[in-house]
Amino acid sequence: MGKEARTEFRKLTTADAESAAELDLKCFGIKDACSCEYFLQSARDEQKEFLVGERDGKIIACAGAEINSDTAEIESLAVDPEYRRQGIATILLIKLLGAVKERGATFILLEVRPSNKAAIELYKGFGFQIVEREENYYSDEAAWIMARDFS
């Protein structure tokens, strides 16, 4: 019987920037993907908490948030399409929410495309609620602003 591959979760490092950018491009396309420079800066930025999921030496998931005082904003959550529907996004979100809470955040928000039903359902499952619609947020679509209070 074969051994099932495990996903290891850890902090993003500068060495992960190129792989994280490639993953983002694969998940979000050229219009919405974050650059390698963005991930390099995020790995170095004290106000950011970024995590990756790695399997067999390959970055298959990445999520991050910026923390300002008691408020955090999820900036990205991506799982390689080949590895979706395995609970990776759920584990990654649990770990990210725990990390931002540990750093003092009591309120967290994010933006998501209204067409991204899977992400919306994931976030709702974690207690996020749609609080606002931001027109023209993306180049071709509005965004739902979702938020959750930890208190």
Query: Which CATH number does the domain housing residue 98 bear?
Result: 3.40.630.30
What's the CA gap between 115 and 91, in Å, rounded? 23
* Geometric angle at alpha carbon 36, from 6 and 14, rounded to 5°: 60
Neighbours of 17 (CB within 10 A): 23
Domain, as residue range, for 100 = 8-107
pLDDT of residue 1: 40
* Residue 123 bears catalytic tag: yes
Residue 27 lies in a domain: yes
Q: What is the mean pLDDT of each run of 10 residues along the chain (151 residues)?
A: 71 94 88 87 93 92 94 93 89 94 93 89 93 83 90 73
pLDDT at 4: 55
Is residue 54, in this structure, part of any structural domain at all?
Answer: yes
Half-sphere exposure of 18 (CA within 13 A, CB side): 1
Residue 131 lies in a domain: no
Residue 132 belongs to some domain of the structure: no
Non-local (6+) Cβ contacts of 57 within 8 A are none
Q: Say what the pLDDT of residue 85 is.
A: 87
Which pLDDT score is estimated for 63?
A: 95
- Is position 55 within any domain? yes
Q: Which of 83, 111, 138, 141 is catalytic?
A: 111
Question: Would you say residue 41 lies in a domain?
Answer: yes
Let me know if residue 24 belongs to a domain: yes
Contact 117, 106 (CB under 8 A): no
Q: What is the pLDDT of residue 135?
A: 86
Does 121 map to a domain?
no
Q: How many domains does the chain have?
A: 1
The pLDDT assigned to 131 comes to 93
